[in-house]
Structure 1
Amino acid sequence: MRIPSFRRALWLAVALLPAAPMVASAQAKTDSVAIRRIYDEALTRGESYENLRYLTGQIGGRLSGSASAEQAVQWGKTTMEKLGLDRVYLQEVMVPHWVRGAKEKAQIRADRGKGVALNVCALGGSVGTGGKLRAGVVEVQSLAELAALPAEKVKGKFVFFNRPMNPRYVETGRAYGEAGDQRRSGAAAAAKRGAVGALVRSLTLAHDDFPHTGTMRYEDGVVQVPAAALSTNGADELSQLLRADAALTVELEMSCQTLPEVKSYNVIGEIKGAKYPEQIISVGGHLDSWDLGQGAHDDGTGCVQSMEVLRLLKATGLRPERTVRAVLFMNEENGVRGGTKYAEVAKQNKENHLAAMESDGGGFTPRGFNIEAAPAVVRKIQAWQPLFVPYNSGQFVVGHSGTDIEPLQDQVKALIGYDCDSQRYFDIHHTAADTFDKVNRRELELGGASMAALIYLLSKYGL
């Protein structure tokens, strides 16, 4: 008899499990049936996509401290209350309040002729320019190259950091991480050398006109100078014109500023464990986003998937044996105050956190999970890989989990990051292009199902 393709894949997944007593095989079959129920529910009645439609369309970008961030908090609380969870509550946290102000303007100017417009945006946390700021430009590829330049080459100029992300890496996150130092630290490094500001190539492999914002840091005792991101097309054009005319100038106008901190909240909902309620498994994403777009992939998808984990467990009747808690973290983008607060309260309350999972890589096609844990714990989680093979999400590898759950690392046995295809993520990351229409319904719902399936296993067997 010919086995239907999906059933054949499921049979193969069970057959691939390590040799074990008959009872282990029976457990694997039981688990495969439960996981199938989770996927069936997600793919036929999933609610992540419609929740995301509301979050992005009715609320939009949700920068910490903003009115829209507060609206998102109330939306998250109300949405989880409708799920009929055992508990839904807010966890207070103070967050920074940076505002972008009027749309930024920039031009490349020479002694003669009309200025050439540049697509720019202020980096998060930057000071404004106090009107129009015009200066010459020195281009560098790295912080080290800047440090090696003679003082007269830098003083009174913009430092233009133009190192692109490395396209040779298959994992785009690695390229993003390596190029990120110029965005985070470029302004402070430039100020130390007497520069008046920093211009930073956007962190993306795409060639387009969207500037990518993102957080940057000043240093105590170092003058604060404005920092702006250029679109990759703009960076290429500026570099080309500099080669033809090293004396050209850039005129930049930004009105951003930092206001007093604001009280905000993490939004938390949980299902109490049926057997071991004192053991907690957290799953979350960050509710805040940058202000340029709608915060769809970063990280609206992670929020709706985390809430969907709880809904899927309830809808399928798979009552978790350990407590499962969904956390919508506030302020990942420019402070990680929410993740830090959550870990602090957990320690103060002496909570027993078994594991924490985060979704903050977009809502693209699932691939599997990144695991940070002791080798024995990693092996235990990897033993479940075959159950995920039929769903194309069976890559269980050692790797970075997530920024918001990092503060929990000394309180849990495992930190787990949901991993999806990353090739398109940095095309829209931190830009006006991060909108709902970029999210695919099936990819999003498959991701939530993958997360729920692993949470189900963690809840059933522990670590």
Structure 2
Amino acid sequence: MKLKPLLSALLIGAASLSASAQTDSVTIRKIYDEALVNGQAYDNLHYLCKNIGQRLSGSTNAQKAVEWGKKLMESYGFDKVYLQEVMVPHWVRGEKEQGFIIDGKTRTPVALAALGMSVATPKEGITAEVIELHDLKELDALGADKIKGKIVFFNRPFDERFIETGAAYGTAGDQRRSGPDAASKYGAVAVIIRSLTSALDNYPHTGTTSYGTVNTPIPGAALSTVAANKLSETIKNAKGKPVKFFLKQNCQTLPDAPSFNVVGELTGTENPNQFVTVGGHLDSWDLAEGAHDDGTGVMQSVEVLRIFKAMGYKPKHSVRAVLFMNEENGGRGGKKYAELAVQNKEEHIAAIESDEGGFTPRGFSFERPSAEFLKQVNANWKSLLAPYEADMLVAGGSGSDIGPLRGSVPGVTLIGFRPDSQRYFDIHHTPNDVFENVNKRELHLGAAAMASLIYLIDQHGLKF
């Protein structure tokens, strides 16, 4: 469609709206024009990925990202730019991991990565018989007699029936989060898991594992899906004969380190003490550049404020972009932000998080809304967002960084930005999460969608 027919169609559509909705429609069009023609999120993301790179909490690169993020927002002339200090975990991977399938005299190397926050193996590594399970409940059924001294291999794949891939991630994720902790209670010497993805490739996916009250934590690592299939096939073909696995990893947890959330703000003209927050997490795993997880989210959040500034739009309420630190292996930044919001007696209207990749926007999910709330949101705003295909306004989760606001800050509505999910877990937590896998237009469409929703909230509130 050529530009003139497109503008004509939009104007005809706007003519059927109320005067207020017509104003909203025109403003949202301007937001998208600014994002798509003059957008800077993609160039900023390039700098973050290529000039700084991986940004695991406590690392030198994480501090470089903090300093650069602050300077970036200052360069845009936001009304306030400041840091919120927070102590974060400092885990380091160390020398590259090694893994081998041992079938008789055959040693087959496989692609794997230590799980975040895992302990190391002994310096010489661990060699032990491997036992394949598909569910944590199988540990209880087998008991210590059959598990003690072995390496447990959790090989539960994604459930492909889910349309929304985040649901598959959620149902498969307990083997990573809790597998090493659960298996250690039965005397296992290590845990290896199938990477959390539908993709069949040789990229292992890291991600946090958590230890509870066990006296002796055991190492945890993730196999690529190709390696997981190879190991499963080897065990099957062995027909009951022991198959062994060798694992060596060198990670360690150092003392907590000081770091920061980075906050930029446009101060409200009418209600400066009422806030709308938009954010993502600045930290990333150490295997790659953290492009989609979550460089796209932080750059979109900064872009929202830049768009408003470029348009000359002065929000009624204060709008903040927050680059949260330590989402990946602790969530300390989100907790600190909520703690300071309570301490400073701030009133938060809404908080929006972008942490599902920078893919084509589909809409937003509203956490714990009533059916009437959703009905009114859709009645008032769906038609305004529909021309941009960002009008999926549904009940659902928000995000882990804004989650601590729930319960601690009364009245806040938590919202998740929902891009298309089909490719995210091909890349998530892998060495393949690089800038080259981000599409410029998709990234800028997402920033425009978030800016549009924030504009509507700022103008009309959420008291439906």
SS of equivalent residue, structure 2 residue 199: coil
Matches within 5 A, 1:39-50: 39-50=32-43
The offset of 1:68, in angstroms, is 0.3
The reply on whether 1:401 has 2:413 as its aligned counterpart is: no
Counterpart selection for 1:33 from 26, 29, 37? 26
Give the Cα separation in 2 of the matches to 1:388 and 1:368: 8
Cα shift readout 1:248-289 (whole Å, capped 9, x = no counterpart): 210111000100000000000100001111110000000000
Give the Cα separation in 2 of the matches to 1:151 and 1:143: 14
Equivalent in the alignment of 2:383: 386
**Preserved CA contact (<8 Å) 2:181 2:214:** no
Counterpart selection for 1:87 from 80, 89, 95? 80
**Preserved CA contact (<8 Å) 1:104 1:253:** yes
**Preserved CA contact (<8 Å) 2:300 2:444:** yes
Equivalent in the alignment of 1:452: 451
Cα shift readout 1:316-366 (whole Å, capped 9, x = no counterpart): 111101000100000000010000000001001110111100000000001
Matches within 5 A, 1:325-344: 325-344=320-339
The reply on whether 1:152 has 2:145 as its aligned counterpart is: yes
Give the Cα separation in 2 of the matches to 1:92 and 1:50: 27
Q: Which amino acid aligns with 1:236?
A: N
SS of equivalent residue, structure 1 residue 142: coil
Give the Cα separation in 2 of the matches to 1:387 and 1:136: 59
Aligned CA RMSD, in angstroms, stands at 1.5
**Preserved CA contact (<8 Å) 1:119 1:211:** yes
Equivalent in the alignment of 2:358: 363
Equivalent in the alignment of 1:4: 5
Give the Cα separation in 2 of the matches to 1:75 and 1:116: 43
The reply on whether 1:119 has 2:111 as its aligned counterpart is: yes
Cα shift readout 1:106-125 (whole Å, capped 9, x = no counterpart): 00112323x10010000000
* Aligned CA distance change for structure 1 residues 336 and 13 (closer, same or farther; 3 Å): farther
Equivalent in the alignment of 1:239: 232
Matches within 5 A, 1:11-26: 11-12=12-13, 15=16, 25-26=18-19
* Aligned CA distance change for structure 1 residues 11 and 158 (closer, same or farther; 3 Å): farther
The offset of 1:11, in angstroms, is 4.2
Q: Which moved more, 1:88-97 or 1:376-385?
A: 376-385
* Aligned CA distance change for structure 1 residues 143 and 259 (closer, same or farther; 3 Å): same
Q: TM-score when scaled to structure 1?
A: 0.95
Q: TM-score when scaled to structure 2?
A: 0.95
Cα shift readout 1:272-307 (whole Å, capped 9, x = no counterpart): 001111110000000000000100000000000000
The alignment-based identity, stated in percent, is 55
SS of equivalent residue, structure 1 residue 384: helix
Give the Cα separation in 1 of the matches to 2:207 and 2:186: 23
SS of equivalent residue, structure 1 residue 116: strand
Number of matched residues?
Answer: 453
The reply on whether 1:130 has 2:122 as its aligned counterpart is: yes
The reply on whether 1:249 has 2:253 as its aligned counterpart is: no
Give the Cα separation in 2 of the matches to 1:10 and 1:265: 45
Give the Cα separation in 1 of the matches to 2:282 and 2:347: 24
Equivalent in the alignment of 2:294: 299
Give the Cα separation in 2 of the matches to 1:284 and 1:296: 15
The offset of 1:192, in angstroms, is 0.7
5+ residue gaps, structure 2: none
* Aligned CA distance change for structure 1 residues 306 and 96 (closer, same or farther; 3 Å): same
Give the Cα separation in 2 of the matches to 1:6 and 1:364: 25
Matches within 5 A, 1:266-345: 266-345=261-340
The offset of 1:150, in angstroms, is 4.0
5+ residue gaps, structure 1: 18-24
The reply on whether 1:56 has 2:49 as its aligned counterpart is: yes
Equivalent in the alignment of 2:166: 173
Cα shift readout 1:29-54 (whole Å, capped 9, x = no counterpart): 00100011110010000000000000
The offset of 1:409, in angstroms, is 1.4
The reply on whether 1:353 has 2:348 as its aligned counterpart is: yes
Give the Cα separation in 2 of the matches to 1:86 and 1:446: 25
Q: Which moved more, 1:64-73 or 1:403-412?
A: 403-412
The offset of 1:4, in angstroms, is 2.2
**Preserved CA contact (<8 Å) 1:14 1:386:** no
SS of equivalent residue, structure 2 residue 178: helix
Cα shift readout 1:375-398 (whole Å, capped 9, x = no counterpart): 254344332111010001110101
